[in-house]
Amino acid sequence: MTERRNETLSAMLDAQEASTESLTDLVRNQESRDTFARYQLVGAVMRGEAQVGQAVDISAAIAAQVAQEPAMLAPKHGRLRRLQMQAWLRPVGQTAVAASVAIIAVLGAQQFMTVEEAVVPASTPSAGHQPVLQTMPVGGVMNPVSFNTMQSSSAQDTSRQRMQLQSFMVDHQFQLQWNLEAPVVEQDAEPENTESQPE
């Protein structure tokens, strides 16, 4: 069964034909959805398209990973390590901006579920090597991006603040996705009851 599904996946990814039944099956099956995500990444790697830190998702993956493993201090060695470092050294401001602007890219759901295998290349950056957050004037002629902490702070505080910044940015993005209804114009300033939940 699984073999067969994977074949279908493979065929789809190679843009070969897949029957409607197998597509429906794929969509319904949680496991194959996860596999699909991994295969997509594998495909990207094989086509030489996957660069670590290339896109907002990867950075988000890092953020999620850091959130889960804040205490990884011992650096490992080797090429993978260096790649990870490079990804991590990119200005995080860019990630946050991208996260807030880029659609879908959003990330808000890590707290519900995580496809760990899909993010392997970018995992476990070392907390000991986190740089101070950089300002990011990239292209932003009109509105230079800056991040300021209001107190003088240790490196540890800075990394904590950066994680918080990511958390709030991502959460707000997720809240925007959960767009239940247009605001009620006549609403009282202080409504007592909370929003109705989605069914």
Partner 1 sequence: MKQFFLSSLFGLASFTFAAFTFEAWAASTSTDTPTEPQAQEAPEVLVPNNQVPANQTAEGRNSEGAFWFDRMQTALRELNFSASFVTLHSGGMEAYRWVHGVTTSGDSIEIIAGLNGPENQAIRMNNRVTYFSPVISPYSLHSQTLSSPIPSGLYERFQEIRESYDAVPAGGGRVVDRAAQHIRLVSRSPDRYLYSLWIDRDTGMLLSVVTFSTEGDVLEQVLLTSINVFDEAAPELEQISEHWTAPPEVRPDIQDAEIGDWQFEWLPAGFQRVRQNRLQVALDGPVADHYMYSDGLAKFSVYVSADEDRASAMQYEGITSLYSHDHGQYTATVVGRIPLHIAQRIAASVRAAE
Q: Which string of x and - marks every residue 120-139 that binds partner 1 (by CB under 8 A)?
A: ----------------x-xx
- What span, in angstroms and rounded, lies between the C-alpha atoms of 199 and 188? 25
Where in 1-40 is the site for partner 1 (CB under 8 A)? 20, 23-24, 27-28, 30, 33-34, 37, 40
| Contact flag: residue 119 with partner 1 (CB under 8 A) | yes
Where in 168-187 is the site for partner 1 (CB under 8 A)? 168-185, 187
The token duo for 110 is: 């890590």
| Contact flag: residue 163 with partner 1 (CB under 8 A) | yes
- Would you say 78 or 185 has its CB closer to partner 1? 185
Burial of 186 (0-12, 13-18, 19+ CB in 10 A): exposed
| Contact flag: residue 85 with partner 1 (CB under 8 A) | no
Give the nearest distance from C-beta 100 to partner 1 in angstroms. 4
- What span, in angstroms and rounded, lies between the C-alpha atoms of 107 and 100? 10
Cβ neighbours of residue 163 under 8 Å, at least 6 residues apart? 63, 66, 67, 70
| Contact flag: residue 107 with partner 1 (CB under 8 A) | yes
CA distances from 186 to 86, 104, 178, 190, 192 (A): 51, 31, 21, 12, 14
| Contact flag: residue 143 with partner 1 (CB under 8 A) | yes
Phi, psi of 136 (to 5 degrees): -135, 90
- What span, in angstroms and rounded, lies between the C-alpha atoms of 135 and 15? 42
- Would you say 78 or 113 has its CB closer to partner 1? 113
Query: Using CB under 8 A, which of 46, 109, 132, 155 touches partner 1?
Result: 109
| Contact flag: residue 98 with partner 1 (CB under 8 A) | yes
Counting residues that bind partner 1 (by CB under 8 A) gives 97
DSSP lists the bridge partners of residue 136 as 145
Stretch that binds partner 1, among 4-12, 76-84, 112-120, 124-132 (CB under 8 A): 112-120
Query: Using CB under 8 A, which of 9, 52, 60, 127 touches partner 1?
Result: 60
